[in-house]
Amino acid sequence: MQLTTEPAGRPATVTYWLSHAWLGTHVEPGVALDVSGGLITGVRTGVATPPPGATVLRGLTVPGLANTHSHAFHRALRSTVQVGSGTFWTWRETMYQVASRLTPDSYFELARAVYAEMALAGITAVGEFHYLHHAPGGTPYDNPNAMGEALIAAAGEAGIRITLLDTAYLSAGFGRRPTQYQQPDRHQLRFSDTTADAWAERAGLLKGSDHALIGAAIHSVRAVPAAQLATVAAWAEERQAPLHVHLSEQTAENDACLAAHGRTPTRLLADHGVLGPRTTSIHNTHLTAEDIALLGSSATGTCMCPTTERDLADGIGPAVALQRAGSPLSLGSDSHAVIDLFEEARAMELDERLRTRARGHWTAAALLRAATVDGHAALGRPEAGVIEPGAPADLATVALDSVRTVGPVPRLAAEAVVFAASAADVRHTVVAGRHLVRDGQHALVEDVPAALASAMAALHG
């Protein structure tokens, strides 16, 4: 079988030969992909041996993975926050200390290394939930988007796509009355533009590029006063841009919102026009039945971040109920306790097994969809996440002969990858047709561990 598209004036075609490919419903052996202009232009099945001149990708090739929720600077917290005990709120204080040390230059170096780590893990697109906007004390840089532009540049140099979700973060929490919110504390001054209008003015100066889309985010209902939520939503609506929001990660936030507004965070967002099919809410851990119905009926997406949610002892969100209600599921590595979308995918299923003492809530195919098709859609790229003509030539190839994946018959390769593989099993990553990771070696960042070590030593030193 051969499917092709032939864009006029296309540049020379390159061919990848996949020993096994995930085509959305099944594993197909012997697939040749023609790639031109960064897009897949032909998919040929039944190709038993590599065509002359083709680049060979041995293993299971899946569409490039989408990391829907990232805070790049949290990578510097790995291990340091595992000493002793505490809560989400004490963890947050450690996070603030790291944030206080970052400059545009040091953030570029750290993010470049983090995004290269993502590429090694088969991630081809990231949603960066970006709220570290200004200098310490809240003074804007001469270039008011210096930090955001550093992230865009870092993704470009690491070779992956980014959706910069520029985040409104204006207050420290609820006050005693619905119109009264706490002023940002000394750490949060870096995050705040003071008003949603000022945020919109600054965010409107950001420019996208071939590898970068610009979206918006509301940090949380505690960080954006209710009267200003609609301003952020309107900014995203005007641009048809993705809009993301942290939602009900902690019961304390729910309790404070109920005390201040007499309604849940989800209802508050609904009442101010935030929910909808271009909106993705992150975590959704502690929801009422009405909350689930509101999210599902509005087709608002849900991004689950299981490795962070378990690391911070947040709880297990009602992902099954949300999906049944109509909320598409995606996955993120959030605080980067680990960067491994296969771990995020299986953790969603395995956490649900622990909670319900029943197995089989999602198939491997459904979990791969969350890590690819629905993740890319949440980042504003609905054309991505599939191996089809016309789709971006973004691929990740996972070894089927490692100690974790060897043994299963080829038709069960998707199950082997989702339920046993790790990021360390990714052998190849292709972005826009470019062979970015070859046999586990990054083509642009020569020594990713050294880059990470250097960036974090500068930050902690």
- Which of 141, 129, 159, 153 shows the shortest CA–CA distance to 103? 141
What is the predicted pLDDT for the residue at 5? 37
Please tell me the distance from the alpha carbon of residue 191 to that of residue 120, in angstroms, as a whole number.
Answer: 30
What is the predicted pLDDT for the residue at 458? 87
Instruction: Let me know if 133 is a catalytic residue.
Output: no
What is the predicted pLDDT for the residue at 442? 98
Reported as a pLDDT band with limits 50, 70 and 90, residue 159 is very high
Mean pLDDT within 207-233: 98
What's the N-to-C CA distance of the chain in angstroms?
A: 58
Residue 139, C-beta contacts closer than 8 angstroms, at least 6 positions apart: none
pLDDT at 8 over 60: no
Q: Which of 283, 286, 336, 361 is catalytic?
A: 283
Angle at which helices 413-420 and 341-356 pack, to 10 degrees?
80
- Report how far apart, in Å, the C-alpha atoms of 27 and of each of 20, 165, 230, 364 are: 6, 34, 45, 11
pLDDT at 1 over 80: no
Residue 137 corresponds to which amino acid? G
What is the predicted pLDDT for the residue at 95? 85
What is the predicted pLDDT for the residue at 11? 52
Per-residue pLDDT tens over the stretch 166-199 = 999 999 999 888 888 999 999 999 999 999 999 9
Residue 136 corresponds to which amino acid? P
What sign for the dihedral angle of Cα 451, 453, 457, 460?
A: positive
Q: Give kind and range of the element (H or E) at residue 417.
A: helix 413-420
What is the predicted pLDDT for the residue at 98? 86
pLDDT at 4 over 90: no
Q: Which of 193, 291, 334, 394 is catalytic?
A: 334
Of 73-82, 236-245, 270-279, the range with the lowest mean pLDDT is: 73-82
- Which of 18, 8, 7, 52 shows the shortest CA–CA distance to 387? 18
Instruction: Let me know if 334 is a catalytic residue.
Output: yes
Mean pLDDT of the chain: 95
What is the predicted pLDDT for the residue at 461? 63
Per-residue pLDDT tens over the stretch 43-57 = 999 999 999 999 999
What is the predicted pLDDT for the residue at 105? 97
Angle at which helices 364-371 and 413-420 pack, to 10 degrees?
60
Q: Give kind and range of the element (H or E) at residue 56.
A: strand 55-63
Reported as a pLDDT band with limits 50, 70 and 90, residue 94 is confident
pTM: 0.95
Mean pLDDT within 199-214: 97
Per-residue pLDDT tens over the stretch 382-430 = 999 999 999 999 999 999 999 999 999 999 999 999 999 999 999 999 9
pLDDT at 2 over 50: no
282: tokens are: 């992150």
Please tell me the distance from the alpha carbon of residue 45 to that of residue 32, in angstroms, as a whole number.
Answer: 6
Mean pLDDT within 118-122: 98
Of 80-89, 382-391, 443-452, the range with the lowest mean pLDDT is: 80-89
pLDDT at 156 over 70: yes
Asked if 154 contacts 102 with a C-beta cutoff of 8 angstroms, the reply is no
Reported as a pLDDT band with limits 50, 70 and 90, residue 10 is very low
What is the predicted pLDDT for the residue at 91? 77
Reported as a pLDDT band with limits 50, 70 and 90, residue 88 is confident
Other beta carbons within 10 Å of 412: 13
Please tell me the distance from the alpha carbon of residue 201 to that of residue 367, in angstroms, as a whole number.
Answer: 38
pLDDT at 84 over 80: no
Of 22-26, 120-124, 455-459, the range with the lowest mean pLDDT is: 455-459
